[in-house]
A = this chain, B = another copy of it.
Amino acid sequence: MTIPETARWLAGRDRFLILTHRRPDGDTLGCAAGLAQGLRDAGKTAYILYNSEATARYLPYVERYWAPEDFTPEHVVAVDIASTDLFPAGGMEYLNKVALCIDHHPSNQGYAGLTCLEPDKASCGEIIYALLMELNGSISPDIAASLYVAVSTDTGCFAYSNTNAHTLRTAADLIDAGAPVSDINKALFRTKAKSRVMLEALIATSMEFYFNGAVAIAVITQDMMAKTGAVENDMDDVAAIPGAIEGVIVGITIRELTGPGDSKVSVRTTPQVNANALCARFGGGGHAMAAGFTLDVPVMETKRLLLTALDEIFPLDNGKPADAAQPR
């Protein structure tokens, strides 16, 4: 469905329940908050299904919209949920009952009755903004704030490669509509928990470099998290840390997921190396420059297996100097 069609569909209905995805980020939560308020501003009843995994930084935006237990929706709307395996805990009863899905993921499975999909948008927040402008003609400062959170977090404050001109123009419109950009940026992008800062320090000092600095591998153990007081909240985008170092072509994080017997691997690459192909060898996958897999083996053994696999990739044909697979 197009955005005007979707707006008309919403305008003709009432009593909405909005679903957010598992391990919810700023995009799904900001979109849900903005849509809930926008529907209320249009005279509707709208709530967000409680998501137990919503983290503290986003709660102020969403918690006022949590559905009461006795709320019986007429229409269920999913925002930013690409597939049914991303449904939140507590959302399973709605698996086959989603009337409308609003999303920007090209991989959207089309599980909903109707889908408003705009795969060229960097964030779902851009779609909700256009939708609410179509529905109500304007948005309140509260909605602008929620949607600014959505747009800015899904693009890493406009630094990720998905950022485009439309993203920036939507963000500009949201500032004009009253989003407190300076406060939001300070809270989301210029503030770090002490535990996160200490964990980053430990990751940096324990990271090892191979193949002349082209590969960086960070091992993150439960012990490291305990030492720094890091919790799951602090793990946002840690997978990007090794690959962000100058000269690194393959950046890898290997995390103990539940304990010393298992490994969760995230691989980030530059276009010279296919992350998806590397992870496929271990039964995983993803995208060309970001992929992952899990193994039921200890992290140091996973690291050894990865280095053996990398031995077949390096030296690259394109002239990157080779080196033995030894820490330097």
Contact = CB atoms under 8 A, between A and B. Distances in A.
Interface of A: 156-161, 163-169, 171-173, 175-176, 181-182, 185-186, 189-194, 197-198, 200-202, 204-205, 209, 213, 240, 244-247
A161 B173 contact: no
Given A165-B176, A182-B161, A244 B190 contact: yes
A192 to B, nearest CB: 6
A111 to B, nearest CB: 31
Given A158-B157, A168-B172, A163 B191 contact: no
A180 to B, nearest CB: 10
Given A168-B168, A197-B204, A200-B200, 7 more contacts: A161-B182, A164-B181, A194-B209, A194-B213, A197-B244, A201-B202, A201-B204
A105 B159 CA distance: 25
B192 A163 contact: no
B164 A194 contact: no
Nearest to A205: B201
A197 B282 CA distance: 30
A245 B195 CA distance: 9
Contact of A157 (B159, B175, B176, B246): B159
A95 to B, nearest CB: 36
